[in-house]
A and B are shown apart, each in its own frame.
Chain A
Amino acid sequence: DAGVIQSPRHEVTEMGQEVTLRCKPISGHNSLFWYRQTMMRGLELLIYFNNNVPIDDSGMPEDRFSAKMPNASFSTLKIQPSEPRDSAVYFCASTRTSGKPYEQYFGPGTRLTVT
């Protein structure tokens, strides 16, 4: 089975540019999560979707960040405009919320550098 797929794997951009990160969850999984990881702050939940609906976006840092899930197999995280403090690894993860335990599987991440 294909795991969670993320693209791009690496992104280098200049401050002020728009950045779009993409995620394809595991087929059959109905919850999708976006995380950000830095050395200073560890792994932070940004937003999660259940059945394509955003449930909790309280972790989104500010209005520059937005996320969408137009269908069960695709989600985007957009940063506009980007700033150097957005540099981090962004992970997407998915899980199935039927049956226990709810094991969560991560994609390989997008390493974002904003200069």
Chain B
Amino acid sequence: RKEVEQDPGPFNVPEGATVAFNCTYSNSASQSFFWYRQDCRKEPKLLMSVYSSGNEDGRFTAQLNRASQYISLLIRDSKLSDSATYLCVVNFGNQFYFGTGTSLTVIP
């Protein structure tokens, strides 16, 4: 069983739409959680850390459900520039476990 699982998509949504990604993790003792964004032929870049109480950064909202062991990312009012692959990342000890990513394309 993989440490972190994500729906690979692709998600194709019109501009202005709201889109949500979910991610599940297997280790209940996982300590920190993140969403990364990766553009084509670029490195993964930290989008946001995910806190137990949930957190928001502009149009992006991240939620953590420890009981069900899943993390979510909500993007409101999608922009063309949001098109990318979104990676769910879970930290345990010094190890980071990456999901395979969810591909998003925002269509004009």
A residues sitting closer than 8 Å to B (CB atoms) are 31, 33, 42-43, 45, 48, 50, 55-56, 91, 95, 97, 100-109
Interface range on chain B (Cβ under 8 Å from partner): 10 to 19
Q: Is B59 an interface residue (CB 8 A)?
A: no
Would you call the interface of chain B mostly helix, strand, loop, or mixed? strand
Q: Are A50 and B34 in contact (CB under 8 A)?
A: no
11 A-B pairs with CB atoms under 8 Å apart are A42-B100, A43-B87, A43-B98, A91-B43, A101-B34, A101-B91, A102-B32, A103-B34, A107-B43, A108-B43, A109-B42
Q: Is B44 an interface residue (CB 8 A)?
A: yes
- Which residues of B have CB within 8 Å of A102? 32, 91, 94, 96
- Which residues of B have CB within 8 Å of A101? 31-34, 49, 91
The distance from the CB of B10 to the nearest CB of chain A, in whole angstroms, is 14
Q: Are B94 and A55 in contact (CB under 8 A)?
A: yes
Q: Are A106 and B94 in contact (CB under 8 A)?
A: no
Measured between alpha carbons, how far is A107 from B89 in the docked complex, in Å? Answer: 17
Residue on B with the closest CB to A103?
B46
Q: Chain B, 69-108, contact with A by CB distance < 8 Å: what is the 0/1 string?
A: 0000000000000000001010100111010110000000
- Which residues of A have CB within 8 Å of B96? 33, 45, 95, 102, 104
Tell whether A31 pairs with B91 under 8 Å between CB atoms, given A43-B44, A101-B49, A109-B43.
Answer: no
Please name 12 further chain A to chain B contacts, defined as beta carbons within 8 Å, in addition to the given A33-B96, A56-B95, sorted by A numbering. Answer: A31-B94, A43-B44, A43-B98, A45-B96, A91-B44, A95-B96, A100-B31, A101-B33, A101-B91, A102-B32, A104-B89, A107-B43
Tell whether A100 pairs with B42 under 8 Å between CB atoms, given A31-B94, A50-B94, A55-B94.
Answer: no
Q: Are A106 and B45 in contact (CB under 8 A)?
A: yes
The distance from the CB of A45 to the nearest CB of chain B, in whole angstroms, is 7
Measured between alpha carbons, how far is A88 from B33 in the docked complex, in Å? Answer: 26
- Which residues of A have CB within 8 Å of B101? 42
Residue on A with the closest CB to B8?
A42
Q: Which of A56, A95, A108 is within 8 Å of B42, CB to CB?
A: A108
Measured between alpha carbons, how far is A101 from B90 in the docked complex, in Å? Answer: 11
